[in-house]
Structure 1
Amino acid sequence: MSANEATQVTPQEPTKKKRSRKAALLVVTGIFIIIAIAYLIYWFLVLRHYQDTDDAYVAGNQVQIMAQVSGSVTSVNFDNTDFVKKGDTLVVIDPTDAEQAFEKAKTALATSVRQIHQAMINSKQYQANIALRTTQLNQAQADLKRRVVLGKLDAIGREDLQHAHDAVDSAKAQLDVAQQQYNANQAVVLNTPLDQQPQVLQAAAQVRDAWLSLQRTKVVSPVDGFVSRRAVQLGQRITPATAMMAVVPATNVWVDANFKETQLAKMRIGQSATVVSDMYGDDVVYHGKVVGLDMGTGGAFSLLPAQNATGNWIKVVQRLPVRIQLDEQEVAKHPLRIGLSTLVTVDTQDLNGKVMSDTVRSTPLYETSALTLDLAPVNAIITDVINANAG
């Protein structure tokens, strides 16, 4: 190759490199433009319908455990983190006072039964007394008739005749007293059976009250759950106003997602939502739905709400709690705890739902039978006391 040929080839190489570099930049720029256009289309069709917030926390029921009677604690059966079932005895209160009150109530019932039984017997006695006084009145009237005839014949003195009149008046008065005694006694007993007498029913009610107080010395759990915030201690004197502990069910938990007010325009009840907790990370995704929007922001319901009518005012975007109901099976598989942080995303594309609910619940939201006591045992005790003292 000659020197002239080398001189001609050398300037062409930088030119080729510049062209290839420009082509590469154009390709890269085109790729970015395509990605941007695709993202804009995807945002317009999909992403703009989703609202998300990380100001969201798990919430649930915290069942406060309080005693229904006063007394000193003799046993604490569970501690924090322990699992309990509905009806398990959590705390035992000294039953001595309740036992004494129960025995006193049974004694009062027995006394009432005997008093009413005596009143019923007195009714028969008063009836017999009325019959006796009636016979005496008849005799006195018969004697008076004979003496009136004898008096007309001057066979007896006027004094004897007056005595006969006085005997009739006395017999009438005694009969009237006997009848009033019977009526007064009947006003107490009437024709009511012994076990239905008001005095007996009142005493029986007092026996039930005492029995209930005795049973309530054992404080039971109204629900299945985990013990939390135990504050009760052995020997502590408690009253019905003393908070001893809380039982937190692992089920029926929800998420309160605090969305900005600028995110709520298309939020509707029934819209689907996904929830990711910080505890499990992105590996576990919970599915749920919007069940309601609260009636006030956190600032409006705070202990010291903001006074926006003051001169120094700065607008702050408010947040409104939105309740997200979770899938119970997913929660059972991956249990959550109250207060855990979550990331909530709501799909607002479906606008058919309501902004505010207008449906009234027809059944209780929560209920328990653990605190309802069967009165059959105490009713049997009352029947035994009545039968034993009825004579």
Structure 2
Amino acid sequence: MDTNQTTNVDNPKRRKSWTLIATGVFIFLFIAYGVYWLVALRFEVSTDDAYVSGVQSPVVAQTSGKVIQVNYINTDLVKAGDILIVLDDTDAKLAYQQAKDELANTVRQTQVLYIEADEYAAKIKSDQISLLQATQDYNRRYALGRKDDISIEELQHAKQTMELAQLQVDIATQQYLSNQVLLHGVGLANHPAVKQAADNVRQAWVTLQRTTIRSPITGYVARSNVEVGTQVSSESQLMVIVPQQPIWIDANFKETQLQDIRIGQPVSVVSDIYGDEVTYSGKVIGINMGTGSAFSLLPAQNATGNWIKVVQRLPVRVELDPQQVEKYPLRIGLSTTVTIDTHDQNGPVLASTQRTQPFYESQALVLNQQDVNQMISDIITQNTYRVPAEQ
């Protein structure tokens, strides 16, 4: 038998062997995939409709004025309390000085009420002495009148003098009481007129401080839309400060994928910016109470005649590992792919406990009024010539 005949005989056998091997490999892969699906894949839900979200702290003007200084622009790092923008403070300084002058004037005018109180009290005593003298004179003349030692006219004059003295006591008493109504038993520093003038000083001081616009948090400047020379008004949004953390993912899962999702389930996140090289670890911390369309400015009117069913999506919030975010920073709005492991379904669908701590807070914009309060106290003291005791 020659070589060609031997090769022709072996070819069918080889083809059959390779066919069996390939079939076996495909069967093995199919079974392996089936096992993997039963063990892992069927417990995973995934979506690429997921985006990075985070805190966006707006910087808002709290008073009106013209911008004379801009210290930071987009992408700059700022610390909480840093001066971002300075407004022209000419008008604010003038209003502050006027408020201080008005407080000094109010203290002086109000102090007159306390001086008058002593005057009225002294006048009551003086008029009471006069009344006592007039009463004694009348009694003596009345006794003499019964003996006809004095004329009826003189007795009548003595009686009128006594009655007039009584009226003077009544008038002085009413003046004293009217004065006490204005004082109402408080000292000079606590008098309503003085307190109102002091509050006006504080308000003017606060307005002056707000001509210096500070950063509410530590983060990066974004969406800056202010330039030197811009006239801003109260409530004008000037820029946004975005901190590096906290950062989370809002993953928009289809409503058909939500059946097995529970709070606390582990999550893996891959961002488009880093690709498969970085996989973030996270967990489900909440499921939104409504779809995006339900909360939109113009909600869909599904009761209309022309209606087409559209599968809705519900935002699921995913918390990321802060250490990973620190090492591989993310930016708000970046696209990600989110995969949730739904093996453990013991967690709740809705949160059953309330948050006990603020989600995010900053004291950088809280003004310390210690200096202005001391200034107010000094103004009251400097313009007080007689400090009345608290009554």
| TM-score > 0.5 by shorter chain | yes
Write the letter of the residue equivalent to 2:380. I
CA distance in structure 1 between the aligned counterparts of 2:256 and 2:335, rounded to whole angstroms: 22
Are 2:43 and 1:49 aligned?
yes
Question: 1:5-16 to 2 correspondence within 5 Å?
Answer: 6=1, 11-16=5-10
Q: Which moved more, 1:172-181 or 1:333-342?
A: 172-181
Which residue number corresponds to residue 26 of structure 1?
20
Are 2:141 and 1:141 aligned?
no
Deviation at 1:191, TM superposition (A): 3.3
Write the letter of the residue equivalent to 1:299. S
Query: Could you list the per-position Cα deviations for residues 93-117 of structure 1 after superposition, in whole angstroms to 9, with x for gaps in the alignment?
Result: 2212221221222122212222222
CA distance in structure 2 between the aligned counterparts of 1:284 and 1:10, rounded to whole angstroms: 58
Which residue number corresponds to residue 388 of structure 2?
none
Q: Which moved more, 1:266-275 or 1:102-111?
A: 102-111
Write the letter of the residue equivalent to 1:374. N
Deviation at 1:343, TM superposition (A): 1.1
Which residue number corresponds to residue 78 of structure 2?
84
Q: Secondary structure at the match of 1:106?
A: helix
Which residue number corresponds to residue 3 of structure 1?
none
Say if 1:366 and 1:132 are closer, same or farther in 2 by CA, change over 3 A: same
CA distance in structure 1 between the aligned counterparts of 2:239 and 2:89, rounded to whole angstroms: 20
Write the letter of the residue equivalent to 1:292. G
Deviation at 1:12, TM superposition (A): 4.0
Which residue number corresponds to residue 363 of structure 2?
369
Alignment counterpart, residue 313 of structure 1, candidates 288, 291, 307: 307
Question: 1:185-204 to 2 correspondence within 5 Å?
Answer: 185-204=179-198
Write the letter of the residue equivalent to 1:37. I
CA distance in structure 1 between the aligned counterparts of 2:283 and 2:6, rounded to whole angstroms: 67
CA distance in structure 2 between the aligned counterparts of 1:189 and 1:202, rounded to whole angstroms: 15
Which residue number corresponds to residue 389 of structure 2?
none
Query: Could you list the per-position Cα deviations for residues 302-356 of structure 1 after superposition, in whole angstroms to 9, with x for gaps in the alignment?
Result: 3333333334333322222111111111001111011111111111111111111
CA RMSD of aligned residues (A): 1.7
Q: Secondary structure at the match of 2:81?
A: coil
Q: Secondary structure at the match of 1:370?
A: coil
Question: 1:349-388 to 2 correspondence within 5 Å?
Answer: 349-388=343-382
Which residue number corresponds to residue 163 of structure 1?
157
Q: Which moved more, 1:356-365 or 1:40-49?
A: 356-365
Write the letter of the residue equivalent to 2:298. L
Query: Could you list the per-position Cα deviations for residues 183-238 of structure 1 after superposition, in whole angstroms to 9, with x for gaps in the alignment?
Result: 11122224322212222222211211111111111111111111111112222222
Alignment counterpart, residue 220 of structure 1, candidates 204, 214, 219: 214
Structure 1 or 2, whichever has the larger Rg, is: 1
Identity %: 50
Write the letter of the residue equivalent to 2:152. R
Q: Which moved more, 1:356-365 or 1:366-375?
A: 356-365
What residue ranges of structure 1 are gaps of 5+ in the alignment? 1-5
Deviation at 1:182, TM superposition (A): 1.4
Which residue number corresponds to residue 256 of structure 1?
250
Say if 1:150 and 1:57 are closer, same or farther in 2 by CA, change over 3 A: same
Q: Secondary structure at the match of 2:225?
A: coil
Q: Which moved more, 1:151-160 or 1:203-212?
A: 151-160
Write the letter of the residue equivalent to 1:137. L
Q: Secondary structure at the match of 1:181?
A: helix
Which residue number corresponds to residue 264 of structure 2?
270
Q: Which moved more, 1:280-289 or 1:133-142?
A: 133-142
Write the letter of the residue equivalent to 2:142. V
Say if 1:148 and 1:298 are closer, same or farther in 2 by CA, change over 3 A: closer
Are 2:60 and 1:73 aligned?
no
Deviation at 1:279, TM superposition (A): 0.6
Write the letter of the residue equivalent to 1:281. G
CA distance in structure 2 between the aligned counterparts of 1:63 and 1:361, rounded to whole angstroms: 21
Which residue number corresponds to residue 275 of structure 2?
281
Deviation at 1:283, TM superposition (A): 0.8
CA distance in structure 2 between the aligned counterparts of 1:187 and 1:254, rounded to whole angstroms: 61
Say if 1:152 and 1:13 are closer, same or farther in 2 by CA, change over 3 A: closer
Query: Could you list the per-position Cα deviations for residues 144-170 of structure 1 after superposition, in whole angstroms to 9, with x for gaps in the alignment?
Result: 222223323333222212111111111
CA distance in structure 2 between the aligned counterparts of 1:161 and 1:315, rounded to whole angstroms: 111
What residue ranges of structure 2 are gaps of 5+ in the alignment? 386-391
CA distance in structure 2 between the aligned counterparts of 1:175 and 1:81, rounded to whole angstroms: 79
Q: Secondary structure at the match of 2:338?
A: strand
Say if 1:309 and 1:154 are closer, same or farther in 2 by CA, change over 3 A: closer
Aligned residues: 385
CA distance in structure 2 between the aligned counterparts of 1:296 and 1:121, rounded to whole angstroms: 68
